[in-house]
Amino acid sequence: MLIIEGIRIKNFRVLKDVTLGLTNKQSTNSPLTSIIAVIGKNGSGKSTLFDVFVFLKECFQLGVESACNNKNRGRQALKNN
């Protein structure tokens, strides 16, 4: 089982520079836990955060180039999984 302890997202749609959890050994952040609540205003990037994880999944399954070229990513991709 893959456990993601942290992630840094730069320039992905509305997420310009976001760090969540433990991203390196020098980080003072705590690792992500198995339960996370995502709360924010409309348009703040909540759905985009989940799209990031769909993108990562596609990178591992299809390869990075195919994942980058996938035009169906987003709400449709989440519904199909």
- For the stretch 23-58, pLDDT in tens is 987 778 888 888 889 999 999 999 999 999 889 889
Q: What predicted TM-score, i.e. pTM, was given to this entire model?
A: 0.72
Confidence band of 77 (pLDDT split at 50, 70, 90): very low
Task: Determine the residue type at 72.
Answer: N
Mean pLDDT, range 54-76, rounded to an integer:
82
